[in-house]
C-alpha cells in the first residue's frame, strides 16, 4: 500500500528518492523541485522548499454530548502506519469513546487527503495543525518554515518505522555499491525517503550528486522503464515491486536483478513522526500531551475493530486487506518511542535530523551555512513527562532485539545473494603483527579507530544484518613464493589465510570489547592473497573487507 505523504512537497526537493507502498499517479511535486534533460530522461534537480499561504491555526468545535469541544482535523493518505491513530480515535469520526476525548476533552476527525501538497498547504494555512512527517524531512521543513514562528514544526511522537516495505533494487551489472556512481537511479517523486538512498550512498563515499535520479510516479510505468531501459541500473521502490522484480516466478521479474537493501535491514532508518504547529503547542500544551498519551495507548489497542475502521476509511475490501497494510511497518509503542527520543540513541530522532541535514546540504537543498540544532524541532517535554509518571511499564521494546541470532548460523548460504553493504577498510598493521594498540597516537592507528567507529554506526543502522569481516594480506611476496615451487606456494598461501583470519579476529575483538557490538553478529574469514584489489600496489591488498549480510 502507498503513501504520498509529505514527500511530494518536502523530500522531493532533496533528490526525490522514493519509498512508499504504491505510487500515486496524481501526486504533486509541489513546484519545489526542478528537472534537467538527459537524452530523453528527465533528471531531478535539488531546489529549496518554499511554502506560501501561511495563517494561524484553526480549531472548530463539535458537541459530543457534554457541550462544544475543540475539533482537530488530521489529513491521512493510504498508509498502514496510522493504525494507532485509528485505534486511539475509535475510527475516523469524532466520538465520545475516543481516547483523545477521554484524556483531553477534545475530538479528532481523520480526513482523507492523498495529496502531499494539500497536506502541507493545510498545515501552513492552519486547517491541519497536526500532520505526519518523516524524521529526515525535518531539516528541510524547518528551513522553509522558520521565518514564521507560528508554523515551526515540533516533533512530539513517533507513528512507525518502515520495516521491509521499501528498498533499492539493482541490476546484475551493479556488483558493488561504487558501481552506482554516475549511473541512473529510478524513483518516485511523491514519496518521502530520499534519506534511505542518501544514507546508503554516504556509507560508500558518495553523495546524491554522484547519481542521476529520474522521477516516475506510477509504479507500473517505473517497472516498465526499469526493465526496458538499459541506462537505469537501480530503482528505489516499494512493495510489492521490491519482492516481485527479483522473483523468477513473478510476472514482474527482471532477470539478474537483486534487492540491494531494504528497510527491514535498516529497520529504524525510515521513521514517521507526527508534528504539531508551534502556535498550537504553545497555546494548548495539555491538549497535545493528551494527544501523545492517547497515541501510545492506541498502539496497544490495534485489533480487528481497527482494521475494519481502516478498511472503511480507505475503501478496502475488508479488514484483512487493512491488516496486510501493517506487514511491512512497525508501529511504535512507549519504550520504542522513548528510545527514539533519547539523545544518545545512534538511530534516533536527533541523529537522523543531523545526518539528513548534512546530506541535503551536500545536494544544495539546504544552504551550506545551515547548522540547525535538532532541539529546534524535537520537543521531548511530553515524552519526559510521561516517563516521570512511570506509565506504560508493561510495554516491551521489540526493536532492541530485532536481530535474528538463529539466522546467523546460515551465513554461508546467505552471503552470495544478501550482501546489503560492502566496505573495504584499510587497517594499518605493522609487518608480522596480528594486532595494534588501539590507544596509540600514531595517525595510522587513529585512522583505524575512526573507520571502526563508522562500521559500528553502520551496524546500529542495519539492525537485521550480520557482519562478515574478511581479512586480506599484502601480496608483495606472492611471486617470491611462486618461484620456490608449487608445494612451497601452497603452504605459504595457507599460512597467509591463517594470518589474515587472525587479523580479522582481532578486528572482531575490538568491535566487541571497545565498540560494544554484539559478538553473535560478527563472523570472520581469512582469504590471504586471494582477491587482490590492486595488482600494481601490493600493499593496498592488506585490508579487512566488511560485509553486511541480510538475514531476512
Please check whether residues 301 and 325 belong to one and the same domain.
yes
Q: Kindly report the CA angle at 383 between 377 and 387, in degrees rounded to 5?
A: 155
Q: What pLDDT was estimated at residue 29?
A: 25
Look up the CATH number of the domain holding residue 184: 3.40.190.10
Strands 465-472, 522-526: pairing is parallel
**Domain assignment of residue 514, yes or no:** yes
Phi, psi of 374 (to 5 degrees): -55, -30
Please check whether residues 307 and 394 belong to one and the same domain.
yes
Look up the CATH number of the domain holding residue 440: 3.30.1330.60
Please check whether residues 181 and 290 belong to one and the same domain.
no
Helix 349-363 to helix 194-202 angle (10° resolution) is: 80
DSSP class of residue 180 equals G
**Domain assignment of residue 20, yes or no:** no
Q: How many domains does the chain have?
A: 3
**Domain assignment of residue 29, yes or no:** no
Please check whether residues 394 and 428 belong to one and the same domain.
no
Q: What pLDDT was estimated at residue 52?
A: 84
**Domain assignment of residue 248, yes or no:** yes
Please check whether residues 421 and 492 belong to one and the same domain.
yes
**Domain assignment of residue 19, yes or no:** no
Please check whether residues 386 and 275 belong to one and the same domain.
yes
Please check whether residues 345 and 244 belong to one and the same domain.
no
Please check whether residues 45 and 69 belong to one and the same domain.
no
Domain boundary among 351, 377, 400: 400
Please check whether residues 182 and 312 belong to one and the same domain.
no
Distance CA 153, CA 141 (A): 8
Domain boundary among 262, 291, 310: 262
Please check whether residues 214 and 187 belong to one and the same domain.
yes
Mean pLDDT per 10-residue section of the chain, whose length is 552 residues: 44 33 27 56 76 92 96 95 97 97 98 89 96 93 94 97 92 92 83 73 90 87 94 92 94 94 92 97 98 98 98 96 95 97 94 92 89 96 96 92 66 64 81 88 92 92 91 85 88 90 94 94 90 80 87 74
3-class secondary-structure state, position 97: coil
Q: What pLDDT was estimated at residue 426?
A: 79
For 239-309, where are the E strands, in sequence order? Answer: 258-262, 271-277
**Domain assignment of residue 294, yes or no:** yes
Q: What pLDDT was estimated at residue 413?
A: 55
Distance CA 351, CA 124 (A): 26
**Domain assignment of residue 202, yes or no:** yes
List, in order, residues 6 or more apart from 150 with CB less than 8 Å away: 54, 56, 57, 277, 278, 279
Asked if residue 329 lies in contact with residue 161, where contact means CB atoms within 8 angstroms, the answer is yes
For residue range 385-402, list pLDDT tens digits in order: 999 999 999 999 999 878
Please check whether residues 356 and 294 belong to one and the same domain.
yes
Distance CA 287, CA 57 (A): 14
Please check whether residues 252 and 200 belong to one and the same domain.
yes
**Domain assignment of residue 17, yes or no:** no
Q: What pLDDT was estimated at residue 299?
A: 97
Domain boundary among 243, 262, 281: 262
Residue 514 belongs to domain spanning: 403-550
Amino acid at each position: 500500500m502507498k503513501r504520498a505523504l509529505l514527500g511530494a512537497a518536502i523530500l522531493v526537493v532533496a533528490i526525490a528518492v522514493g519509498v512508499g507502498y504504491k505510487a500515486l499517479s496524481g501526486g504533486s511535486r509541489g513546484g519545489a523541485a526542478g528537472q534537467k534533460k538527459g537524452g530523453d530522461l528527465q533528471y531531478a534537480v535539488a531546489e529549496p522548499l518554499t511554502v506560501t499561504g501561511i495563517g494561524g491555526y484553526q480549531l472548530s468545535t463539535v458537541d459530543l454530548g457534554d457541550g462544544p469541544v475543540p475539533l482537530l482535523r488530521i489529513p491521512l493518505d493510504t498508509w498502514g502506519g496510522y493504525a494507532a491513530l485509528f485505534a486511539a480515535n475509535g475510527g475516523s469520526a469524532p466520538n465520545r469513546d475516543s481516547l483523545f476525548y477521554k484524556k483531553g476533552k477534545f475530538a479528532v476527525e481523520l480526513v482523507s487527503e492523498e495529496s502531499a501538497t494539500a497536506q502541507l498547504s493545510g498545515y501552513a494555512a492552519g486547517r491541519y495543525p497536526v500532520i505526519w512527517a518523516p524524521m529526515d524531512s525535518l531539516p528541510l521543513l524547518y528551513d522553509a518554515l522558520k521565518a514564521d514562528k507560528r508554523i515551526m514544526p515540533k516533533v512530539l511522537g513517533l507513528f512507525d518505522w518502515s520495516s521491509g516495505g521499501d528498498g533499492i533494487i539493482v541490476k546484475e551489472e551493479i556488483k558493488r555499491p561504487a558501481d552506482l556512481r554516475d549511473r541512473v537511479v529510478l524513483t518516485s517523486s511523491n514519496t518521502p525517503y530520499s534519506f534511505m538512498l542518501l544514507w546508503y550512498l554516504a556509507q560508500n563515499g558518495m553523495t546524491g550528486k554522484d547519481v542521476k535520479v529520474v522521477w516516475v510516479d506510477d509504479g507500473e510505468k517505473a517497472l516498465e522503464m526499469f526493465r526496458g531501459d538499459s541506462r537505469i541500473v537501480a530503482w528505489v521502490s516499494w512493495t510489492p515491486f521490491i519482492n516481485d522484480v527479483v522473483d523468477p516466478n513473478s510476472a514482474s521479474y527482471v532477470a539478474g536483478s537483486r534487492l540491494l537493501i531494504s528497510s527491514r535491514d535498516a529497520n529504524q532508518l525510515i521513521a514517521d513522526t507526527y508534528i504539531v504547529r508551534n502556535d498550537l503547542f504553545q497555546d494548548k500544551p495539555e491538549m497535545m500531551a493528551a494527544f501523545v498519551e492517547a497515541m501510545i495507548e492506541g498502539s496497544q489497542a490495534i485489533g480487528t475493530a481497527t482494521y475494519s475502521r481502516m478498511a472503511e476509511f480507505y475503501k478496502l475490501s475488508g479488514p484483512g486487506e487493512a491488516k496486510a497494510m501493517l506487514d511491512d511497518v512497525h508501529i511504535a509503542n512507549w519504550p520504542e518511542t522513548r528510545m527514539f527520543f533519547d539523545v544518545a540513541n545512534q538511530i534516533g530522532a536527533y541523529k537522523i535530523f543531523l545526518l539528513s541535514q548534512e546530506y541535503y546540504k551536500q545536494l544544495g537543498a539546504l544552504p551550506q551555512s545551515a547548522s540547525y540544532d535538532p532541539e529546534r524541532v524535537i520537543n521531548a517535554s511530553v515524552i519526559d513527562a510521561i516517563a516521570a509518571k512511570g506509565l506504560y511499564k508493561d510495554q516491551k521494546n521489540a526493536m532492541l532485539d530485532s536481530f535474528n541470532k538463529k539466522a546467523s548460523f546460515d551465513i554461508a548460504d546467505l552471503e552470495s545473494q544478501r550482501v546489503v553493504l560492502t566496505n573495504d577498510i584499510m587497517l594499518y598493521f605493522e609487518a608480522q603483527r596480528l594486532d595494534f594498540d588501539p590507544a596509540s597516537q600514531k595517525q595510522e592507528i587513529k585512522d583505524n579507530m575512526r573507520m571502526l567507529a563508522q562500521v559500528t554506526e553502520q551496524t546500529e543502522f542495519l539492525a537485521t544484518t550480520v557482519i562478515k569481516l574478511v581479512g586480506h594480506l599484502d601480496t608483495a611476496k606472492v611471486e617470491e613464493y611462486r618461484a620456490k615451487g608449487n608445494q612451497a606456494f601452497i603452504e605459504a598461501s595457507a599460512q597467509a589465510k591463517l594470518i589474515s583470519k587472525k587479523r580479522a579476529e582481532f578486528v572482531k575483538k575490538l568491535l566487541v570489547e571497545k565498540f560494544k557490538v554484539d559478538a553473535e553478529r560478527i563472523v570472520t574469514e581469512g582469504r590471504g592473497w586471494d582477491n587482490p584489489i590492486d595488482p600494481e600496489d601490493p600493499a593496498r591488498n592488506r585490508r579487512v573487507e566488511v560485509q553486511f549480510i541480510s538475514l531476512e
